[in-house]
Structures are given as structure tokens and as C-alpha cells.
């Protein structure tokens, strides 16, 4: 532990943004509707081409807690996340994809969970929705606690559910790979902190649509392979084992 977590910490919400203008309003409104109000929202636009940056700025003009930045060139969500952390002033860091939604009590419940137990790295359950924000009947349950090996094999961590202390996040180099950067980040954190602790309550809605990685399983395999080989340094055989294990589990769930 890096130290006692205050009961009323400021939360920096990092939101990488790229071409999600049509969904952004819902995402921002889910933050504005939070019962916990001691937060700042850091939106980092990755050179969107659909007017997302300009649209995000309209929210910033209405609420000073919302800050909007723009990268110099398109660099991927990892780079946007890293830039957002450099601007963050909160004791806690929360991640939110620009097409996902939070339940109104998300911050309040998760902060209490962390302060009560003095956990520095946590996630929650989440439910899937489609492009029209309709629930599709699938909830992903997190584990009560998961270590490096567990997350490596079958990652139970939803990116937009994660909250971590800024002290702990500051001890790792945030990966700037374009895809699966969040997965690679969790693995780096778990090399220096024993567990990600799961709050078994659905507090986030995860959107499945053509722009999301989860929509295309083949691309997800490709990006996971790169994490295993290039960033974790695993052998071809062990990387292949992890890919096949993931595929087998997914097939069994479908059945």
C-alpha cells in the first residue's frame, strides 16, 4: 500500500476520445449524473475527424470540471490515456471509454469500497449494451480478486470499471500501443501490486458496436498476440497456448 486513501478523494476521470460524437453526450451525461461530485473529467481527443473535439468543448464550456485536450497527431487510446494522466490532479484515477456509460452511483459505491478496504486497484461488474443503448442480456462478472496470472489468462477487468490510486498508477509506464493498451496496463500494474479487487456490482454499461474491439474477435486475438509477444516477452508456444485457452473458454460460454 502506498498510503491511506482519504474518504473524499478527488477523482480524475480519463476519457480517450476518437470519432464517437454521436455517443459522447450519453457518456458525459452519465458522469454529470454521478451522486459523487468531487471529480474532474479529462477528455483527450485523438485527432477525431467527426467533430468530436468541438462537441466535447461545448460541455467544457458549461462545466469547469470537464477539461478537453487534443493530441498533436493520431496516436491511439494508450497515448491519450497517458496524456490524460499527466494532466490529472486527483488522488484517484478512473477510466471511461467515450462510448461507455456509468451507473449514477458508480463513483460513490466504488470509492467507498476502496476506502473501506484500503484497496488501490479495483474494478466492478458490467453489462453489455448495443449501439442504441439497449441492454443485450449479458453481464460480465469480475472476480473478488485477481492476480497477474489470472488476468493474463482470462482478463476479468472491464476498462471503464477500473479505479486506481494515482500513486500506484504513477509507478508504471502507461503503454501507448494502439489496441489492448488497457490489458497491457493491468498486467504492468499487477507486477508491482498483488491484486485487482473486484466489486461485484454492475456499475458500468459497455457498448458493443462496430468500432469496439470486442465486436471483432479476430482483431482481439491479433492485439492480444502482440501484448504477449512484444510487451510480455512470451515465447511463441506460450502465447499460442494463451490464445487457444481464451478461444476455448469463449466457445464454451457460447454453448
Which three three-digit cell numbers place residue 134? 439497449
Domain membership of residue 74 (yes or no) is: yes
Q: Where are the beta strands (DSSP E) in the chain?
A: 11-17, 39-45, 66-70, 92-95, 101-102, 121-129, 135-140, 145-146, 163-165, 196-207
Domain membership of residue 2 (yes or no) is: no
- Domains held by the chain: number: 2
Q: Are residues 73 and 198 in the same domain?
A: yes
Q: Are residues 46 and 129 in the same domain?
A: yes
CATH code for the domain of 23: 3.90.550.10
Q: Are residues 205 and 220 in the same domain?
A: no
Q: Are residues 94 and 185 in the same domain?
A: yes
Residues 70-80: pLDDT tens digits? 999 999 999 99
Query: Among residues 126, 61, 58, which one has the least CA distance to residue 96?
Result: 126
Domain membership of residue 3 (yes or no) is: no
Residues 66-103: pLDDT tens digits? 999 999 999 999 999 999 999 999 999 999 999 999 99
Query: In which element (H, E) is residue 84 found?
Result: helix 77-87
Furthest CA-CA distance within the chain: 53
Domain carrying residue 57: 11-215
Query: Among residues 66, 9, 16, 72, which one has the least CA distance to residue 41?
Result: 66
Q: Are residues 125 and 151 in the same domain?
A: yes
Q: What is the reported pTM?
A: 0.89
Residues 118-167: pLDDT tens digits? 999 999 999 999 999 999 989 999 999 999 999 998 888 999 999 999 99
Q: Are residues 98 and 205 in the same domain?
A: yes
Q: Are residues 176 and 235 in the same domain?
A: no
Torsion, Cα 244 250 253 255, to 10 degrees, reads -80
**Whether the predicted pLDDT of 253 surpasses 80:** no
Which three three-digit cell numbers place residue 32? 454529470
Amino acid at each position: 500500500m502506498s498510503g491511506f486513501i482519504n474518504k473524499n478523494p478527488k477523482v480524475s476521470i480519463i476519457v480517450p476520445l476518437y470519432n464517437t460524437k454521436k455517443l459522447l453526450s450519453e457518456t458525459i451525461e452519465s458522469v454529470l449524473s454521478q451522486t459523487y461530485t468531487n471529480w474532474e473529467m479529462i477528455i483527450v481527443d485523438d485527432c477525431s475527424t467527426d467533430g468530436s473535439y468541438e462537441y466535447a468543448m461545448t460541455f467544457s464550456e458549461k462545466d469547469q470540471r470537464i477539461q478537453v485536450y487534443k493530441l498533436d497527431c493520431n496516436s491511439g487510446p494508450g497515448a491519450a490515456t497517458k496524456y490524460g494522466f499527466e494532466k490529472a490532479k486527483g488522488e484517484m484515477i478512473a477510466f471511461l471509454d467515450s462510448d461507455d456509460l456509468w451507473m449514477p452511483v458508480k463513483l460513490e459505491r466504488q470509492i467507498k469500497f476502496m476506502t473501506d478496504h484500503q484497496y488501490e486497484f479495483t474494478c466492478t461488474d458490467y453489462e453489455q449494451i448495443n449501439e442504441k443503448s439497449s441492454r443485450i442480456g449479458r453481464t460480465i462478472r469480475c472476480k473478488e480478486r485477481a492476480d497477474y496470472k489470472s488476468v493474463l489468462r482470462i482478463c476479468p477487468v472491464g476498462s471503464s470499471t477500473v479505479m486506481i490510486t494515482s500513486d500506484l498508477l504513477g509507478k508504471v509506464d502507461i503503454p501507448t500501443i494502439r489496441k489492448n493498451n488497457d490489458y497491457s496496463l493491468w498486467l504492468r500494474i499487477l507486477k508491482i501490486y498483488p491484486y485487482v479487487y473486484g466489486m461485484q456490482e454492475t456499475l458500468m454499461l459497455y457498448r458493443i458496436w462496430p468500432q469496439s474491439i470486442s465486436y471483432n474477435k479476430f482483431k482481439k486475438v491479433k492485439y492480444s498476440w502482440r501484448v504477449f509477444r512484444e510487451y510480455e516477452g512470451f515465447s511463441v508456444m506460450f502465447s499460442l497456448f494463451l490464445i487457444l485457452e481464451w478461444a476455448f473458454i469463449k466457445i464454451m460460454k457460447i454453448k
